[in-house]
Amino acid sequence: MNTTRLVAVATVIAVISACSEKAAEPAAQPPVADTATAAPVANDTSALADKPMISTTEQSYKSATVTALNTATRELSFKTDDGAVGTVKVSSALENLGDIKVGDILAAQYETVTTYEVRAGQGVRLDKVESEVIVGSEDGEEPGLVKIDEMQATLLIAAIDREAGNITLKNKDGETELEAVNDMSKLKHVKAGDVLIVTKTETIVADIVPQEALSLQ
C-alpha cells in the first residue's frame, strides 16, 4: 500500500480514538439505575487521579502462500508455513483483487490494544459501542488491506469482594459477571458504583508480496 493510503489509515485511527474519548466522557444524564448502591462521589477531583487505568498491547505476525483465488466469489485460499490451509472472503474494499496471483505471499500483522479505565460512576451511562473500518488498496497500488475493529463497553462495578479478590460487573442489559482481580491493591481507590470503561482495538494490516519479488531476493 502506498504512502497516501497509509496516511488515510492513520487518519481513520485518529478519528476513531477521538470519538472513543468523547464517548467515554460522563454524559449529562441521570445516574444509572444502580446508583442507589453507589457511595457518594466527592467533589475533590484529586481522588479521580487515583482511579486506575491499565493498557495492554499484543502483537503478532503471520504469513501464508496463496494457493487459489476466485475473483468472482472473492475467495482466497492459502497455506501457512506449518501446513495449515484455509479460505477467506476478501473485502470489496480491496479493489485490485485480480492483481493477486497463486504463489504470492500473504503477510499479515496483528495488533490488539486493550485499555481498562475506572471512573466515578455518577452520571455515566452504561453502554457498548462497536465499529469497523476497512481500507483497501486501489487499482495501480500494491494489493493490501487494513481492518480496524473497535469495541468500547462501559460497565458498572456493582460489587467488590476484596477478600475473595474479585469484582462484579454489570452491563447495560443488566447482566452481571464475576471477574477475578490479580492485584487488588490496584483497586484501593475503587468502590462499588464506579464504572469500568473497556476499550479494545484490533488492527490487521495485510499485504501481498508478489512471487516475482521473492525470486529477486
Q: What is the pLDDT of residues 153-169, one digit of tens each?
A: 999 999 999 999 999 99
Q: How far is CA 43 from the centre of its chain?
A: 33
DSSP E strands, the chain: 53-70, 75-80, 85-89, 105-119, 127-136, 144-161, 166-170, 176-180, 195-209
194 SS3 class: strand
Whether residue 60 contacts residue 114, with contact meaning beta carbons closer than 8 Å, is answered with no
- 3-state class (DSSP) for residue 8: helix
The 10s digit of each residue's pLDDT in 75-118 is 999 999 899 999 999 999 999 999 999 999 999 999 999 999 99
Question: What is the pTM assigned to this prediction?
Answer: 0.71
Q: Are 150 and 138 in contact (CB under 8 A)?
A: no
Tell me which amino acid residue 159 is.
Answer: A
pLDDT for 73 equals 97
The answer, yes or no, to whether residue 137 has pLDDT greater than 60, is yes
CA gap 195, 157 in Å, rounded: 5
Provide mean pLDDT across the span 6-10: 41
Characterize the bridge pairing of strands 53-70 and 75-80: antiparallel
* 3-state class (DSSP) for residue 121: coil
Count the neighbouring beta carbons within 10 Å of the beta carbon of residue 169: 19
Contacts of 148 (CB under 8 A, 6+ apart): 9, 12, 13, 16, 132, 133, 134, 201, 202, 203, 204
Query: Is residue 159 within 8 Å of residue 200, measured between CB atoms?
Result: no
Residue-level length of the chain: 217
